[in-house]
Amino acid sequence: MAYDYKEIANIIIENAGGLENISSVTRCSTRLRLFIKDKYKVNINKIQDTKPVMGVVFPKDELQIVLAQNLIPIYDIVSKEFDARDKSKDTLKTSETEEVRGFKAKVSKIGGDLLAFVSAAVTPMIPALVAGGMLKVFLLLITLALPSFAESSTYNLLSMLADAPFYFMPIFVAYGASTKLGGTALYSMAVMGSLIYPTFVQAVTDKTPLSILGLPILLVSYKGTLLPALLISYFAYRCEKLFTKIIPSLLRSIFVGVFTIAVTYVVGVTVLAPLGYFVGGYVAEFFLWTSTNFGPVAVGLLAASMPFLVLTGMHHAVTPFMAQAVVDPGYDAFFRPAYLLHNMAEGGAVLGVGLRAKDKALRAECFSLAFGCVVAGITEPAIYGVNLRLKRPLYGVIAGAGLGGVVSGLLGATAYHYGYSNLLAIPIFEKTILAIIIAIVVAIVSSCVITMLLGFDESILVTETSATHSEEVDTTASVVLSDTNASSIAAPVSGAVVALSDVDDQVFASGAMGSGVAIKPSEATTTVYSPVDGVVEMAFETGHAYGLKSDSGAEVLIHVGIDTVSLGGNGFEQKVIAKQTVKKGDILGTFDPLVIANAGLDNTTMVIVTNSSVFEHINIVGTEFVNAGQELIELD
C-alpha cells in the first residue's frame, strides 16, 4: 500500500505537540524516537491510529513510534522539519521547561531516568554500529572464501571503515547525550575527541607521564567507552548553562564555548573520564563474572526478558556494553547470543501462529513476519502485530528464547564481532558457529511448538484486522458481530469479563448506577464499539463515557476506566456526537491504554443498564473472555 509520508510525518509532529514540544529526533532500525518536553501535549491515540504506525511506546519523555519498513522516509521528513525550525525559539522554550522536568525527575525513579538517559544517548549511533558490524561480517565472509583478500589494501581500508564506529563511539555517545540534555553537542564531542586524539593515544601507549595545571592524568585508553562520555556530556551541559547565565549577552558568542570546553576538559581528563573508566570497568567485569559463573542461566534469563525490554524500548540501553565487550575483552558470550535468540524465538512463535491459524490472510502474514524476524532481525511487527495481541504466543517467545539461551551458554556460543541479531550475523561467532546454530534451532522450534500447544484465539486478531481494514475505508466501520437479538447488549470492547461487584469503584460496584458488568480490556484493545442499535444520548467531551438508548428501550452507560474523567480527554477520542444514530458495532471512540496506565488509573470498562428496573431479568451471558461485538448482556 502506498502512503503519503509527508502527511504522516505532519500528523506525527502535530500530535507530538508540535516541533516546539520536541527536543530531539533520532531513530533505530524500526522506531522513530522523539524526545518530548511536555508529555501532556502528546496525543498518543491519534498517532497510534495513523497508518502505518504499528505501535507507540512512551517511557519517560521518549516517544517511540514503531514504523518498521516505513521508518526511513518518515524519519527523513520529520528530521528535516525539526532541523529547519527556529533554533532561538527552541532554546528559549527548552530552558523554560527544564525546571519542570527537573522537578518531575526528583519524584521519578532514579533507575528509570538513568536507563532512559542512556537509551537516548546511544540511540543515534546504533545505525553506525550496525553498519560497521555488518561490514565486518561481510569482510569476514569474503576472507573465508578468498584468504588472499585479507592482505590487500582494499581489505585494510574497509576494515578501518568498519572499526571507525567503535573507535569513535565516545564521540557518538557525547552527541546523543548532549542532544538529549539540550546542550550544544559539539562541546562535549570536542572534549571526548581530545581523549582519543592520536597524540594522547600515543602517550598512553608509551606510558608518557601527563599532567594539566599540576594535576596528574590517568593514562588509559578511552576508545569504545560509554560512561566517560556520559559524565563529560552532562558536565559540559551544566557548564554551558552556567556560563550562558553569568556572561553578558554581548560576549556569550565569544566566551561561552571556549570556557565550556576548557573547564570540561580539565575536570573531564582528571576526574570524570577516569571515574567513568573505572565504573565502566566494574560493570563490564560484573557482566563477565555473571557470564562465567552463571553462563547458561544468565544468557537464558536475558533472552527470556528481551520481549519486555523491547516493549519498553529499553533494549538499546545495553548497546554500548555490547560494543565495549567486542573491543575489550574482545568477545561477547552474553548480550549478542541473548539478543539473537530472542529474535529467533519471536520468529518461531509467529511461525507457530501461522501454522495453527485457520484464516488464510493471517497465515500468510505470520509467515512473512517470521521471515522478517529470523532473516532480517526485525521483531517489532511480529511483537505488536501478532504475539502481543494474542498474548499466549508471547509465552512461547519467553520459553523459546530462554531455552535457546541456556543451550547457547552450555555450548559456549560467543560473538567476536559486533553484528546484527539475525541469521546473517552467524559468522561473527567464528569458531562457535555450530553452538549458535544449535541454539537458534532450539529457540525457533521450541517457541513454535509451545505456541501451537498453548493455542490462541485467532478471532481476536482476525476481528481487529477486519476492523482496521474497514476503518481505512469508512470512519463508521463496525466490528464483526456474533448472533445477537435486538434486546441484547454486546461487548463494547474485547477483554476479560469482571463482575460489577469486583470493580474498584463503590458507585459502580454497589449497583447504584444500575445493573451490569465490567470488562478488563485486552492489551491490544483501543476501540470502543456500540453495544446496541439506537441513539447516542450522551457523549462526554472527555471521551471516557457514552450514554446510549437502544431501539428496545435499554439505556446503556459505557464508562471506560475508573476516574478517567481526571485525564480531561487526554488519551481519548470521540467518533460520535449526541443524538447520532448508531448500529451495533459502530465505533463510538478510541482510548489509549498507555496514557491511562501512565496516569496510574485502571482502564476497566463498565457496561451499565441505567434503567434496569424496567426489565424483569438482566442476565450476564458473557463469561471469562469476550470479543467486541459478542453478546454480553441479555434483557427480558
What residues act catalytically? 28
- E strands present in 486-598: 488-490, 495-498, 515-521, 527-529, 534-539, 545-550, 555-562, 572-574, 581-582, 587-591
Q: Which residue has the cell 527556529?
A: 86
Helix segments in 123-251, DSSP class H:
126-145, 153-167, 169-181, 185-195, 198-206, 227-246
Residue 329 grid coordinates:
575483552
Q: Give the helix/strand (H/E) hosting 259.
A: helix 252-267
| Pair 173, 125: CB distance under 8 Å | yes
**294-300-302-306 Cα dihedral, nearest 10 degrees:** 180
Distance (Å, whole) CA 534 – CA 581: 6
Written in H, E and C, the secondary structure of 435-488 is HHHHHHHHHHHHHHHHHHHHCCCHHHHHHHHHHHHHHHHCCCCECCCCCCCCCE
Nearest Cα neighbor of 477 from 590, 579, 386, 572 is 590
Q: Are strands 545-550 and 534-539 parallel, antiparallel or unpaired?
A: antiparallel
What single-letter amino acid sits at 584? K
Give the sheet arrangement for strand 555-562, strand by strand: 581-582, 534-539, 545-550, 555-562, 602-609, 515-521, 495-498, 625-626
By residue count, the chain amounts to 636
User: What pairs with residue 63 in β-bridges?
Assistant: 34
Distance (Å, whole) CA 559 – CA 588: 12
Burial class of residue 397, CB neighbours in 10 A (0-12, 13-18, 19+): buried
What single-letter amino acid sits at 312? T
Residue 593: cis peptide before it, omega within 30 degrees of 0: no
Residue 161 grid coordinates:
571503515
Give the three-class secondary structure for 156.
Answer: helix
Residue 353 grid coordinates:
501462529
Q: What angle do CA 343, 345, 347 make, to 5 degrees?
A: 70
Nearest Cα neighbor of 421 from 250, 284, 306 is 306
Burial class of residue 186, CB neighbours in 10 A (0-12, 13-18, 19+): middle
- E strands present in 542-586: 545-550, 555-562, 572-574, 581-582
Residue 93 grid coordinates:
522554550
Residue 329: cis peptide before it, omega within 30 degrees of 0: yes
Nearest Cα neighbor of 140 from 435, 439, 436, 418 is 418
Q: Which residue has the cell 472527555?
A: 542
